Amino acid sequence: QVQLVESGGGLVQAGGSLRLSCAASGRTFSPYTMAWFRQAPGKEREFVGAINSSGTMTYYADSVKGRFTISRDNAKNTVYLQMNSLLPEDTAVYYCAAGRLGVLTTTPPSYNYWGQGTQVTVSS
């Protein structure tokens, strides 16, 4: 089992920045592909971005490309989501997820472990 705990959410004005963290515990963190998803009220869970186990490859949804950056620190068992130039449409609950994957995949069922989520609200 891998336990994931997100933090860093909050209320920010449009154009601002936030950094989310996802701390992992339980099994060894480093072999896992990590991803961020988000879910706005009344909408399906949406892929945001993913990073491979070594941190050398990332993949982003078009909606966040160039604004969001995923990174990880395997020594600290933590993955980060740096969010810049935030827009009101970025408002959602953000979830981190982990999976033993050989590729960066965008589909939620591919990931075995999920955090409880952290709320991000961007005001206009």
Q: Which two tokens stand for residue 108?
A: 């939620």
pLDDT in tens, 73-96: 999 999 999 999 999 999 999 999
CA distance 92 to 37: 9
CA distance 1 to 70: 23
Q: What is the pLDDT of residue 102?
A: 80
Query: Residue 103 pLDDT > 90, yes or no?
Result: no
Neighbours of 94 (CB within 10 A): 23
HEC states along 48-72? Answer: EEEECCCCCCEEECCCCCCCEEEEE
What pLDDT shows up at residue 26?
A: 86
Per-residue pLDDT at 30: 86
49-53, 89-93, 98-102, 120-124 — which is least confidently predicted? 98-102
Residues in the chain: 124
* pLDDT exceeds cutoff 80 at 66: yes
* pLDDT given at position 101: 87
**CA 106 – CA 45 distance, rounded (Å):** 11
Q: How far apart are the first and last CA of the chain?
A: 40
